[in-house]
Structure 1
Amino acid sequence: MDAGTLPGLLKKRFEAIEGEAPSSGEQQSWKNSLRALAEVLRDERLCRSEIFVELWMPMGGRRCDAVLTGREPEGAPAAVVVELKQWTSVGKSPWREEVVVMNDSRRHPSAQVKGYVDYLRYYHSAFVQDGVHITGCVWLHAMEDVRAIALLRDPDAFGDLAREYPLFMKREQGRFAQWLQEQLGHGEGTRAAHLIATGRPRPSEKLLDMVVQTIHGEFEWRLLDVQRQAYLRIITAVEEGRAHGTRTVVLIKGGPGTGKSVLALQLLAHGARKSWRVIHATGSQAFQTNLQGKTLAFAANLHKQLQGARFKKELPVDELFCTFSEVAKAGARQGQVLDLTVADEAHRLWEFRRLKFPNGTIRHLSDTPMIEEVISASHVTAFFLDDNQAVRAGEIGHSDVVREAVKRMGVRLVELELDIQFRCGGSDGYVQWVDMLLGFSPQADLSWKTRGEYEVTVETDMARMDRRLRTLQHQNYRCRIVAGYCWSWSPVGTGATWLVHDVKDKRFGDWSAPWIEKTGQGRKPLDHQYYRWANEDAYYEQVGSIYSVQGFEFDHVGVIWGEDLVWRTDRWVADLSKNKDKTFKRDVRTSEAEALAKLRNVYRVLLTRGTRGTHVFILDAETRAHVESLLRVGLARQLA
């Protein structure tokens, strides 16, 4: 910092990693905040420390401003996360663990640091298994406002946050250096620095594996930044609704793998512990079936207990894990019968409650929009959605639809957007690349590929892709093959013990496979094809569709890209003659634009189900060449 070179070095490093320049605000913060930190580090007691600047978190694309290393009094390697703030004043916020900065409610900096420390403790090998002790603090190097300082340290407002993760102000440089010396100044920082630099991320748990433990309070997901902010805002809104009868809609937007379902499940668990009248609703039958199957042993009794009912007929909705239609029906009968509706996969909402007959005829069961009936059912409705994940014609769940309904009903709206990536190896860059590929965003880069964050292969031999996935499965990775809906499903005869290999093509060579089996209506969750396909490794033999995979994640996913969505010269084209989903084709036949939009959504979902790798076999030659061209390193900023 004395030489004035560090901000420039950081800018170059940022561009090399991210493929774009850092914002002017971030560059200015490096100049100001790192200079202030450098003044503290002149202290001779800290001369054996080492420092990371802008340390990437194990997953999710977040960075710690600085991490200092050393040894604690007992001699073990130690590290301190330092959050740097240029704030000069703060005010009170109505939200828990937040303060107002320049008219914007933001997380209390000690809460922010606590999130980073907890996350590193759980997901970074240096702290999980190598014995590095970690804590954190905040350096508010421009803060002199006495009232703001008192607020930030107020135990009545923020509990023990400021004691556990202390804040140091402008005139407390000596005190800050003394505290750092107490944490780190008992030996060199080389060992801790090496373990951090060479460490590896601990894999994140899969949602379905942790459902029961989460609801029973035996496991808590590590919620980071906006996730934690959304969680606390929803809790606060429910408490206000229960106390005063107020209604709030919370709109949580996020792309694939940003933790929407994790957050939804954690809220359900919290509500259950607090004995709230809470339910989980979703538009995905596969997801609902799996959640029901995982909780069969206790969900029915828990649901009755939370609703204060002895008999099922007294319940506002039949199941703890239910559909949007069931919540809407309850809302139409009687308003605010629930404290909290956790509306997951809300992009799959329909315009009206309806009855759909096998011949495609639809009868509306209400003239009131379904979203209004859903909102009416609860004090708080938390909608979790992705504006680019609706895959059926008629699914209207979009953030604009939520905003319009809230305005019509005069309900308070709270809106947040999740931007941390937990799937796809934690690579937000890969998801951005998929969005660029399918035309949802104008550009992306290949930094995720050059850093080896996530594995993507374009396969030209279907049998080889299958062998690769089987090998990974034998190594205890969970693998599945999914495909665009470009092959018909053969009916299974009564008593048949085998499935017809419908997914076949001469371009597959000798390889073929059956679609996921159909178990029919009325099956119990544990016997349903959606549950068995997602949970039993023997079902790797069956190819999943968009309807069986949405909402789920696997270690490695093989994707068969059909010819219903193809690249032609300079644009995507929908070819419905290649699509075998009769209901889908019937619903979009009058709108070419809707067909194209929904098919792009379908492949976006299929391409983002893996946590470690995606392996793609593309039937159409021009489409395959286009995808391969966008995976060539060196095209970073020319992908628009």
Structure 2
Amino acid sequence: MYLYGGTVAEAARQVGQDTFVATAAQRFAQRFGVPAGTQEVHSWSRSWPALTRALCAAGLEGLHLLLEYSLPATGERIDALVVGEDTDGRLCMVAIELKQWTRAYLTSARPGMVRVGRRTVVHPARQVGGYVHYLQQWVSRDELPLSVRGVAVLHDAPTELIESLRTQAAHGPSAAFPLLGQADLTATPSADALAARLGCAGLRPTGRHRVDELLRTEHRPSPTLLARAGDVIEGRDAFTLIGDQDLARQEVLHAVADAQNQGRKSIVVVTGGPGTGKTVIACRLLGDLCRQQDANPRLLSPSGTLTRQLRRTVGDDFRGLITTFLDKIPATLTPSSVVLLDEAHRARTYPDHRRAGFPLTLGKLIDQAAVTVLFLDERQTVRPTEGITLEELRQHALHSGLSFAHVDLVTQFRCNGSRAYHQWVDQLFAPEGAAPAWTASDYDLAVASDPEQLSAWVGEHTRHGATARITAGFCWPWDSPPTPPLLPEVDIAWGDSDQRRIWARPWNSRADAPDLDHPEVPARPFWATDPGGHHQVGCIYTAQGMEYAYNAVIMGGDLVRRGERWIAEPDASRDPQLRGLPPQRYVRYALNSYRVLATRGTRGTRFYSTDEPTQAYLDRLLPPHHT
């Protein structure tokens, strides 16, 4: 998918016209389902004419030019793609990243990142290198061999900025991709020299039928990419399976064999509470499937945090295989694909599938795949616009004529392997009835008397090299800017009236990338794992799917204990997804949220409630924290 396709000469005659950019903006909304941003449209009006002028000055008018070329497995787009034939007669694609930068901030501490204005972005050579890698691994194949090149064109950048960027990219794989500034885009000493700088040396025009063939080519991972992904996953001890985890793996592989040999489509549901290894199984299965002939598997998750953590664990080269599933189906699936949907309880069901039938997007995903594997914990649904149940999936398989299998995981691998703790947490966050007092000794569990104790406990473990984090219910405002410094918005007052004390911390960063000036503040996807995260407070959307050694949980005023039952107070919530729900509906999501927060710690957990009766209830159930 792309916004414009034609020869360089054809594009050069049109790109400077206001109507051309306006038409492109209309086409963008039609093809991508969302309107183009004002800043993006403005960048087109500046960059497209600059690019076509340089291409024409280089004598490349006959080559084919595609603008805003989509990479469907990633959700990214290449600004411009030049297509021609190389000296061997093969099609050649030149990926061009366009920037309007005139200044940027660089630091040797993070050579792959650049700050432009208030945004921290990927170095342009690294960015275009990712595009080249994608085209080599997802488009080029035996029946359509391609040579792929890449270049970053910063058409307004002064020489000093370009030299700084080149120096930063001089070591490592990014060095292979040229960076051009304003002074590099003139035909000096010759048009051929400019063509070489633009990555188009030796290219000649190709027939439009060959370009059409290229555009019809289905994007799918190459056997080489799949084999490498399988090798990487196979070599990671973290993805070793034992017990009922391996049973679930075998059940899925059996369903895959049935699909391949008998053409029988199926749904496999793997259920299990927090820490039973659902994500580990999903990753291991992805490795297994990548090794199979003609495989085209995907590992999806509705959680962007989990997706980014998995990509970093397995390697960002495989980002097209591991992607976020929100309200669109990956465009590169085939009828033989196996889809692994982790955190299926968070799959979106807009607007609220309880009012309609089976969730539309999830249903389409299941229809397109040969086998759909859903990893599910119904008690981790935390919004009214998400969630699916085992019984709904069973009924959907029955009505759709699909085979159905279910594996329930019971072995516990988190929380020190303590089944007693998980049973206790399930009892604690049941809507009614008192939980028993904690008497087991296989998990470090206690109640803190104030938030300062939580901070001291987390800080002590951090100093000794363990991961420790504080989480809280979404009961405080979250208005910090996207970049640090963050505002200390989670503020709690406690103590007697004559000795009132205030404890305050910021929520975790909203940004998806780290800020170059504040390396001590991890980006949102890595708050749970990267140094510095213990200085911020995480919420349900940051912590879900993650784990760390020591876990401090602050219960806010949205869920309070009164007698033998939990009472929901939606007005105490600051979550725009939940505030305003009636209490009888809100209570389910509040109980699920705190259950999730309570099960992140692998070695120990501390509780604290800002509500005095609830704190008194916890005091009766748990031993006091000792410093």
For normalisation by structure 1, the TM-score amounts to: 0.56
Q: Is the 8 A contact 2:249 2:281 kept in 1?
A: yes
Q: Count matched residues.
A: 385
Partner residue in 2 for 1:498: 485
2:592 to 582, 585, 601: 601
Q: 1:497 to 1:262 in 2, by over 3 A?
A: closer
2:506 to 497, 500, 514: 514
Q: How far apart, in 2, do the equivalents of 1:483 and 1:368 lie?
A: 30
Partner residue in 2 for 1:322: 324
Q: How far apart, in 1, do the equivalents of 2:473 and 2:423 lie?
A: 21
Q: 1:578 to 1:539 in 2, by over 3 A?
A: same
Post-superposition offset of 1:570: 1.9
Q: 1:419 to 1:445 in 2, by over 3 A?
A: farther
Q: How far apart, in 1, do the equivalents of 2:252 and 2:336 lie?
A: 14
Partner of 1:341: helix, strand, or coil?
Answer: strand
Q: How far apart, in 2, do the equivalents of 1:443 and 1:377 lie?
A: 46
Partner residue in 2 for 1:238: 256
Partner of 2:412: helix, strand, or coil?
Answer: coil
1:176-195 correspondence runs (5 A):
none
Q: Is the 8 A contact 1:502 1:515 kept in 2?
A: yes
Q: How far apart, in 1, do the equivalents of 2:450 and 2:514 lie?
A: 39
**1:18-60 superposed Cα distances (whole Å, 9 cap, x missing partner):** xxxxxxxxxxxxxxxxxxxxxxxxxxxxxxxxxxxxxxxxxxx
Partner residue in 2 for 1:256: 274
Q: Is the 8 A contact 1:472 1:479 kept in 2?
A: yes
* Pair 1:489-2:475 in alignment: no
Q: 1:214 to 1:612 in 2, by over 3 A?
A: farther
* Pair 1:416-2:407 in alignment: yes
Post-superposition offset of 1:220: 6.1
Q: How far apart, in 2, do the equivalents of 1:271 and 1:388 lie?
A: 29
Q: How far apart, in 1, do the equivalents of 2:416 and 2:359 lie?
A: 42
Question: Which blocks of at least 5 consecutive residues in structure 2 are unaligned?
Answer: 1-228, 496-500
Q: How far apart, in 1, do the equivalents of 2:254 and 2:363 lie?
A: 22
Question: Which blocks of at least 5 consecutive residues in structure 1 are unaligned?
Answer: 1-210, 304-318, 355-361, 634-640
1:73-222 correspondence runs (5 A):
215-219=233-237, 221-222=239-240
Q: How far apart, in 2, do the equivalents of 1:250 and 1:394 lie?
A: 23
Q: How far apart, in 1, do the equivalents of 2:570 and 2:359 lie?
A: 33
Post-superposition offset of 1:628: 2.5
Q: 1:514 to 1:476 in 2, by over 3 A?
A: same
Q: How far apart, in 2, do the equivalents of 1:381 and 1:425 lie?
A: 31
Q: 1:492 to 1:352 in 2, by over 3 A?
A: closer
Partner of 2:489: helix, strand, or coil?
Answer: coil
Taking every aligned residue pair, what percent have the same amino acid on both sides? Answer: 28
Q: Is the 8 A contact 1:330 1:377 kept in 2?
A: no
Partner of 1:246: helix, strand, or coil?
Answer: coil
Q: How far apart, in 1, do the equivalents of 2:325 and 2:417 lie?
A: 30
Partner residue in 1 for 2:335: 337
Post-superposition offset of 1:460: 0.9
* Pair 1:463-2:452 in alignment: yes
Q: How far apart, in 1, do the equivalents of 2:236 and 2:296 lie?
A: 21
1:566-577 correspondence runs (5 A):
566-577=560-571
* Pair 1:554-2:541 in alignment: no
Q: Which amino acid aligns with 1:351?
A: T
Partner residue in 2 for 1:147: none
1:534-545 correspondence runs (5 A):
534-545=528-539
Post-superposition offset of 1:348: 1.1
Q: Is the 8 A contact 2:476 2:573 kept in 1?
A: yes
Please provide the CA RMSD for this pair: 3.2
Q: Which amino acid aligns with 1:383?
A: L
Q: How far apart, in 2, do the equivalents of 1:618 and 1:627 lie?
A: 8
**1:269-298 superposed Cα distances (whole Å, 9 cap, x missing partner):** 111222521111112121112223444542
Post-superposition offset of 1:326: 3.5
Q: Which amino acid aligns with 2:264?
A: T
**1:477-512 superposed Cα distances (whole Å, 9 cap, x missing partner):** 11111100000012328xx64111001021283421
For normalisation by structure 2, the TM-score amounts to: 0.57
Q: 1:504 to 1:226 in 2, by over 3 A?
A: same
Q: How far apart, in 2, do the equivalents of 1:578 and 1:521 lie?
A: 30
Q: How far apart, in 1, do the equivalents of 2:551 and 2:230 lie?
A: 25
* Pair 1:452-2:441 in alignment: yes
1:272 to 245, 268, 290: 290
Q: How far apart, in 1, do the equivalents of 2:553 and 2:370 lie?
A: 41
Post-superposition offset of 1:409: 0.7
Q: Which amino acid aligns with 2:300?
A: A
Q: Which amino acid aligns with 2:477?
A: S
Q: Is the 8 A contact 2:473 2:594 kept in 1?
A: yes
Q: Which amino acid aligns with 2:577?
A: T
Q: Which amino acid aligns with 2:304?
A: Q
Q: How far apart, in 2, do the equivalents of 1:375 and 1:262 lie?
A: 22
2:348 to 345, 350, 360: 350
Q: Which amino acid aligns with 1:512?
A: A
Q: How far apart, in 1, do the equivalents of 2:416 and 2:236 lie?
A: 25
* Pair 1:369-2:360 in alignment: yes
1:404 to 395, 410, 413: 395
* Pair 1:429-2:449 in alignment: no
